[in-house]
Structure 1
Amino acid sequence: MAWTPDAFATLDVLRRRPVIDLTAALPSSLAPRSVVNLGCGSGQLSRLLAARWPRADVLAVDHSRAMLRWAADTPSTVRYHHADLAVWRPHWPVDLAISAGGLHHLAGHDRLFPELLQSLGPGGVLAAALPRPQDQTAHRLLLETAADGPWADRLHDAWPAAPLTDGRRYGAQDYYDWLSPQAAAIDLWETEYFHAIDGDVPLLQWLHQPALAPVMDRLTGPELDGFLAAYRRRLEAAYPEHSSGNTLIPIKWLFVVARV
């Protein structure tokens, strides 16, 4: 997989634009020898990073064994590691710590982000794209489906509540305040993407990772099929097909790029 504009076509469409925007914001002079992809999911971004910097050691970390098994099915030079991202930190100087959608569900960002910044070597970069699922109808429907069925006990607390500080959700000012004492430069922005989904593409296909990772970890066989069918029905009712044959879905992301 070469690092070309076409390489992004291999990414899940739901995450392609955020990944493009995040990687485009990396310093042009960055030539990392050590890269850590936090919350790697199925490993698509990790493999893109390994293609962009073939001499770099790329370590992809995720808490979901199901996602890591999926990622390892595609041959690459990427190393995969299972760990709880709430407590795991690199124990060596990292040139690039990057995450596209893998950290938003964790609590304690006031501790997590400064500690990740401290793990960087001189000139290192911390880059994170954080989806805001709590703003999305699809996420609310996911929680409702989990609570309404024979799988409710197994899916209880599968998706932690939105991380809060002083009773409110983390915002751009919080990340700036946490990182500015250590960072030489910080770039912050928020984007809302509107995805037009063709009527021939099931809505569920757009939302299969990482939101459904806890489901794949905890349910199997007919019960998993039942959950997905129930969730799909809710999605189709909430996002009706337009007369054009497409469905428009808004998704918000917050971006943080800091350099030491």
Structure 2
Amino acid sequence: MNAKTGTEDWNPGLYLTFADERTRPSRDLLAQVPLTAPRRIVDIGCGPGNSTGLLVQRWPQAQTQGIDSSPAMIEEAARTLPGVRFEVADVATWQPEPDTDLLFANAVFQWLPEHPAILQRLLQALPEGGVLAVQMPDNLTEPTHRLMRETAADGPWAQKLRSAARAPLPPVSSYYDLLAPYARHVDIWHTFYNHPLDGPEAVVEWVKATGLRPFLAPLDAGERTAFLSAYTARIADAYPRRVDGKVLLRFPRLFMVAVR
């Protein structure tokens, strides 16, 4: 993930609590990348390096690089994959090197309101045959995020959190119109994952590492405790336990692969 939200850095340990589930979309996106021998690969918003590792495994001969706006995430990624070049960078202004054949971005651009223009710029920067592969959560209408907004609006913290929610993604058609003039092929699809988690508290732990961060960052310690208590109670109602005691976290994600 690339763009910071709030004043605190990302927490790699918390993010990796659900490493297998968070890495699955990277695997699914990677499976649709139509390249055999890319020269240079950049993992944009590489986070702790879980997606970068997949890229290195598939193309060990390529020059692979990871960038992220979070120093903590870059430190964790470099520790996990010491042979890969990682650096702190802002994708809003970052430009790929001319021989970059793959830009891979898993769950980062949803944080950037201006990301449509960035995606178009990055695609244009690729050489002929280069690939822009992007995945973004498209879950703002799911109970996890709807209840964040409701909890924020209903409590004494409402004024502090009036701008915490991120904007919804544009419609699929707008992405197609944005990328198609600069691509020989554009593939866009949605996948709806259903993750079995141990209970409502696990759902809260999942979003604490990502979507809940902008809601918690402005609050003091007491307010955070109260907010999480109120939010968890709502989550428990929205995600009833299944026959085995687990809850199902439905998670829609948007995928795009554009070939220059």
TM-score range, shorter chain: 0.7 to 0.9
Conserved 8 A contact 1:193-1:252? yes
3-state SS in 2 of match to 1:121: coil
Larger deviation, residues 14-23 vs 204-213: 204-213
The percentage of counterpart residues that share the same residue type is: 40
User: Judging changes above 3 Å, is the alpha-carbon distance between structure 1 residues 62 and 216 closer, same or farther for their aligned structure 2 residues?
Assistant: farther
Conserved 8 A contact 1:38-1:99? yes
State the Cα distance separating 1:140 from its structure 2 match: 2.5
Conserved 8 A contact 1:199-1:245? yes
The aligned counterpart of 2:248 is: 248
User: Judging changes above 3 Å, is the alpha-carbon distance between structure 1 residues 64 and 154 closer, same or farther for their aligned structure 2 residues?
Assistant: farther
Please show how residues 146-165 of structure 1 align to structure 2 within 5 Å: 157-163=163-169
Query: In structure 1, how many angstroms separate the alpha carbons of the residues matched to 2:250 and 2:218?
Result: 28
Conserved 8 A contact 1:97-1:126? yes
Query: In structure 2, how many angstroms separate the alpha carbons of the residues matched to 1:63 and 1:152?
Result: 28
2:33 to 19, 26, 43: 26
State the aligned residue count: 245
Conserved 8 A contact 1:154-1:218? yes
The aligned counterpart of 2:48 is: 42
Stretches of structure 2 that go unaligned for 5 or more consecutive residues are: 1-15
Deviations 1:98-139 (A, max 9, x none): 111111232234412211111212311101112112122112
The aligned counterpart of 1:71 is: 77
Please show how residues 51-70 of structure 1 align to structure 2 within 5 Å: 51-70=57-76
Structure 2-normalised TM-score? 0.77
Query: In structure 1, how many angstroms separate the alpha carbons of the residues matched to 2:133 and 2:208?
Result: 23
The aligned counterpart of 1:121 is: 127
Query: In structure 1, how many angstroms separate the alpha carbons of the residues matched to 2:145 and 2:159?
Result: 18
State the Cα distance separating 1:242 from its structure 2 match: 2.4
Conserved 8 A contact 1:37-1:46? yes
The aligned counterpart of 1:4 is: none
The aligned counterpart of 1:132 is: 138
3-state SS in 2 of match to 1:104: helix
Amino acid at match of 2:135: A
Conserved 8 A contact 2:151-2:227? yes
Deviations 1:135-174 (A, max 9, x none): 22112233455567787777664553224xxxxxx12221
State the Cα distance separating 1:22 from its structure 2 match: 0.7
Q: Give the RMSD, CA atoms, in angstroms.
A: 3.2
2:113 to 107, 114, 120: 107
